[in-house]
C-alpha cells in the first residue's frame, strides 16, 4: 500500500513536470498513469482500456457540445470583430485613467458572455497594452489584470456563468448554473474587490519605485530590445487563437485545458490588422455600430437563464426515464442543455447579423470546430488519469485523509477539488476527477448534514478556481507568454488575484453557509 501511495505521488510530480515542460497532456496523462500503475502492481493493459479510456470517453461524451459551441462562438465573435469592439467600447467609456478597472471589467464581460478564456487573452492583450501605455502603468501588471477578469469571479462564482467550470458540478449535484445565486454574487464581489485593491496597490508601489510602461521587460533585455511575447510573435489583433508563430511559445505551453470552457485555437496565425472588408479566414469584419456586438453576449445570458429557470422545467420530460435515455431526469442535464441552447442561439445571431458575408463567416464554424478538439482531449486525458489513480488501492489512503481533516461535506468537497485542480493545473479536469471519485460520498454526506446541493455546487465550483492557477496551469502560461512577460515578472500578481484570493474567499464562505444556510 505504501509503495502504491509513493507511485501516486511520483505520478503527480511527473504530470506537473511534463505539463510545465510543454508535453501535451494527451501524452503526459497516460504516461503518469502508467507510473502509478507500476508502483501499485495494477494490470496495465486492463486499466488503460477498461478504466482510463472509458473515463476519457465519458468526459468527451458529456462536455464536447459545450466545448464545440464555445469554440465556434468565440471564433465567430472575433471574426466578426465583436469581441474586440466590445473591449474598445468599454475601455472608451471608462477612459485610460481607469485602465486597470477597464481591463478587468472588459475581460469579465467577455468571459461571462461565454467566450473561451484562451480567446479572451488574445482579444484583451493588445487593447490592455495600449490602455496601460496611455496611463503609464508598468507592463508587468497586464497579465494580473487580465487574469483577474477571466480566471476568478466570472469563471466559477457568478451565477449563470456558461464556463464549463460552472456546469460540471451540476452533473454531480443535480443543480443548474444559477445555483446559490446570493452566495455566488457575494463571493464574486469580494474576489473582485480584493483583486482590484491588490492591483491598484501594486500599481502605486511600482510607480513610486520609478517603474514605467516603457521600461524593458526581461525578454526585451535578453533579446537586445527586440521585444518578446506577443509583440515579437506578431500577435495583437485579437484573433481567435492560442497558438503562436514561434516554436518557443508552442513548446512552453501545455494547453492543458485548465480554466477554459472552449478552445485553444491550435495551429492558427493571428494577424494584427482588422480590414473593413473580409478577405480570408483570418481577417475580421468591422461592426457597423457599437450595439450589435453586445447582442450575442446578452443572448447567452438571457437564453441560459430562461431555459434554466422557466422553459425547460415547464416541459414534460417523463420520457427520459426510458432505457434508451439512460433513465436520467431533467436535473441531470439541465445546465448542459441550457448552455448549449444559449450558445447555439448566440451563434445563429452572429450569422444573421453578418448575412452579407455569410459564406465567409461560416468558415468560422469549421475553424471553431477544429479548435475544440485539442482542449477537450487534454482535459479528458487528465480525467482518465484521475480515474486510474482513483481505482488503485492506495487511493483509499488519500480519500480517508481528506475526510479525516473534516467530515463536513463542504470542506471535503472544497479540499479535494482544490487540491486535485492544483496538481493537474486544470479547474475543469481537477473538479471532474474529484467528483468522479468522491461525488457520491459527498452528496450523501451533504444530505445527511442538511447541506443544500446548491451550496455544494457553488463552493465546489469556486474551489476549482483557486489552486488550479499554479505556475504550470495552461491558461496562466499562455497568458504570460502572450503578454511578453516571464513568470518571475508577472506570476506574483497572477497568483495573488487568481489563486490566493479565490482560495481565501472560498474558505471564508464555508462557515457563512454553515451558519446562515444557502442564499
Q: With H, G, I as helix, E, B as strand and everything else as coil, classify residue 264.
A: coil
Strands (E), 22-102: none
- 127 has a pLDDT exceeding 90: no
CA distances from 94 to 61, 185, 190 (A): 43, 23, 21
CA dist list (Å): 420 to 75, 258, 415: 30, 12, 8
Using DSSP, state whether 294 is helix, strand or coil.
helix
Per-residue confidence (pLDDT) for residue 11, from 0 to 100: 92
From residue 171, how far is each of 1, 164, 167, 256, 334 by CA, in Å?
Answer: 32, 11, 7, 22, 9
DSSP 8-state symbol, 347: H
Residue with cell 465583436: 82
Query: Please, which residues have CB within 8 angstroms of residue 253's CB and are 6 or more apart in sequence?
Result: 22, 242, 244, 474, 477, 478, 481
Given pLDDT bands bounded at 50, 70 and 90, which one contains residue 91? confident
CA distance from start to end of the chain: 43
pLDDT at 83: 84
Return d(Cα 95, Cα 420) in angstroms, integer: 40
pLDDT for the residue 286: 54
CB 266 within 8 Å of CB 243: yes
CA distance linking residue 119 with residue 111, whole number of Å:
9
Q: What is the pLDDT of residue 415?
A: 94
Contact criterion met (CB below 8 Å) for 428 and 468: no
Higher pLDDT pick, 206 / 121: 206
Identify the weakest region by mean pLDDT among 117-121, 163-167, 239-243, 350-354: 239-243
Q: Residue 285: which pLDDT band, with cuts at 50, 70 and 90?
A: low
Nine-digit cell string for 122: 488574445
Question: Distance between CA atoms of 288 and 292, rounded to whole angstroms?
Answer: 8
Task: Say which range, 257-261, 265-269, 470-474, 477-481, has the weakest mean pLDDT.
Answer: 265-269
pLDDT-derived band at 141, boundaries 50, 70, 90: very high
Query: How far apart, in Å, are the Cα atoms of 458 and each of 188, 368, 399?
Result: 11, 29, 22
**CA 406, CA 483: separation in Å to the nearest integer?**
41
Grid coordinates representing 153 are: 469571479
Are 153 and 458 within 8 A, CB to CB? no
Q: What is the pTM of this model?
A: 0.82
Hey, where are the domains in the chain? 2-516
pLDDT exceeds 70 at position 86: yes
pLDDT (tens digit per residue) in 31-79: 999 999 999 999 999 999 999 999 999 999 989 999 899 889 988 988 8
For residues 147 and 145, give the distance between their C-alpha atoms in angstroms, rounded to a whole number: 5
> Quick one: pLDDT at residue 245?
32
- Number of helices (H) and strands (E) in the chain: give both, helices first: 26, 0
The model's confidence at residue 273, banded by pLDDT at 50, 70 and 90, is very low
* Predicted local confidence at residue 289, as pLDDT: 61
Percent of the chain with pLDDT over 90: 56
Given a cut of 60, whether residue 123 has pLDDT beyond it is yes
User: What is the radius of gyration, based on Cα positions, of the chain?
Assistant: 22
CB of 96 closer than 8 Å to CB of 238: no
Of residues 507 and 371, more confidently modeled = 507
Give residue 142's pLDDT band: very low, low, confident or very high (50, 70, 90): very high
* 109-119 burial: b if 16+ Cβ within 10 Å, else e: bbbbbbbbbbb
Span 407-419, average pLDDT = 94
pLDDT at 64: 93
Mean pLDDT value across residues 111-139: 88
**Cell, residue 432:** 471532474
Q: Work out the mean pLDDT of the chain and round it to a whole number.
A: 85
Mean pLDDT over 207-236 rounds to 71
CB proximity list for 27: less than 8 A, separation 6 or greater: 18
pLDDT confidence tier of residue 25, bands split at 50, 70 and 90: confident
Q: Where are the alpha helices (DSSP H) in 256-362?
A: 294-306, 312-314, 330-353, 358-361
CA dihedral of 165, 170, 176, 180, whole degrees rounded to 10:
-80
Q: What burial class does residue 136 get, using C-beta atoms within 10 Å of its C-beta: 0-12 exposed, 13-18 middle, 19+ buried?
A: middle
Distances (CA, A) of 319 to 312, 322, 323, 325, 346: 14, 6, 9, 8, 28
Amino acid at each position: 500500500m505504501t509503495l502504491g501511495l509513493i507511485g501516486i505521488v511520483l505520478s503527480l510530480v511527473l504530470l506537473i513536470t511534463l505539463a510545465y515542460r510543454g508535453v501535451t497532456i494527451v501524452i503526459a496523462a497516460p504516461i503518469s498513469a502508467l507510473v502509478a500503475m507500476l508502483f501499485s502492481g495494477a494490470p496495465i493493459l486492463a486499466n488503460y482500456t477498461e478504466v482510463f479510456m472509458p473515463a476519457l470517453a465519458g468526459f468527451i461524451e458529456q462536455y464536447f457540445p459545450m466545448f464545440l459551441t464555445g469554440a465556434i462562438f468565440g471564433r465567430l465573435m472575433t471574426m466578426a470583430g465583436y469581441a474586440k469592439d466590445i473591449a474598445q467600447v468599454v475601455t472608451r467609456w471608462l477612459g485610460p485613467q481607469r485602465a486597470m478597472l477597464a481591463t478587468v471589467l472588459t475581460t469579465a464581460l467577455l468571459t461571462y458572455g461565454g467566450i473561451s478564456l484562451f480567446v479572451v487573452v488574445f482579444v484583451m492583450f493588445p487593447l490592455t497594452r495600449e490602455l496601460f501605455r496611455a496611463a503609464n502603468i508598468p507592463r508587468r501588471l497586464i497579465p494580473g489584470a487580465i487574469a483577474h477578469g477571466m480566471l476568478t469571479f466570472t469563471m466559477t462564482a457568478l451565477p449563470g456563468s456558461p464556463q464549463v467550470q460552472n456546469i460540471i458540478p451540476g452533473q454531480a449535484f443535480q443543480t443548474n448554473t444559477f445555483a446559490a445565486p446570493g452566495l455566488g454574487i457575494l463571493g464574486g464581489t469580494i474576489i473582485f474587490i480584493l483583486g482590484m485593491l491588490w492591483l491598484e496597490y501594486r500599481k502605486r508601489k511600482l510607480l513610486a519605485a520609478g517603474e514605467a510602461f516603457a521600461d524593458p521587460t526581461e525578454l526585451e533585455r535578453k533579446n537586445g530590445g527586440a521585444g518578446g511575447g506577443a509583440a515579437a510573435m506578431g500577435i495583437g489583433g485579437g484573433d481567435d487563437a492560442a497558438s503562436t508563430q514561434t516554436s518557443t511559445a508552442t513548446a512552453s505551453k501545455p494547453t492543458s485545458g485548465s480554466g477554459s470552457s472552449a478552445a485553444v485555437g491550435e495551429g492558427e496565425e493571428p494577424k494584427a490588422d482588422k480590414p473593413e472588408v473580409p478577405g480570408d479566414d483570418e481577417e475580421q469584419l468591422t461592426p457597423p455600430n457599437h450595439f450589435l456586438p453586445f447582442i450575442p453576449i446578452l443572448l447567452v445570458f438571457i437564453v441560459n437563464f430562461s431555459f434554466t429557470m422557466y422553459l425547460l422545467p415547464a416541459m414534460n420530460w417523463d420520457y427520459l426515464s426510458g432505457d434508451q435515455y439512460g433513465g436520467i431526469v431533467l436535473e441531470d442535464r439541465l445546465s448542459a442543455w441550457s448552455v448549449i441552447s444559449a450558445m447555439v442561439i448566440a451563434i445563429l445571431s452572429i450569422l444573421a447579423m453578418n448575412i452579407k458575408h455569410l459564406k465567409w463567416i461560416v468558415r468560422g464554424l469549421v475553424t471553431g470546430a477544429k479548435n475544440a478538439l485539442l482542449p477537450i482531449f487534454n482535459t479528458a486525458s487528465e480525467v482518465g488519469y484521475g480515474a486510474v489513480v482513483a481505482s488503485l488501492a492506495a487511493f483509499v489512503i488519500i480519500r480517508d485523509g481528506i475526510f479525516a481533516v473534516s467530515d463536513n461535506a463542504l470542506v471535503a468537497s472544497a479540499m479535494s477539488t482544490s487540491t486535485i485542480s492544483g496538481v493537474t493545473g486544470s479547474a475543469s479536469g481537477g473538479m471532474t476527477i474529484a467528483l468522479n471519485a468522491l461525488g457520491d460520498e459527498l452528496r450523501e454526506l451533504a444530505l445527511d448534514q442538511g447541506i443544500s446541493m446548491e451550496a455544494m455546487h457553488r463552493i465546489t465550483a469556486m474551489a476549482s478556481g483557486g489552486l488550479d492557477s499554479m505556475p504550470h496551469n495552461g491558461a496562466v502560461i499562455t497568458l504570460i507568454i502572450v503578454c511578453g512577460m516571464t513568470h518571475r515578472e508577472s506570476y506574483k500578481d497572477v497568483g495573488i488575484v487568481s489563486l490566493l484570493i479565490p482560495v481565501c474567499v472560498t474558505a471564508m464562505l464555508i462557515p457563512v453557509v454553515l451558519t446562515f444556510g444557502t442564499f
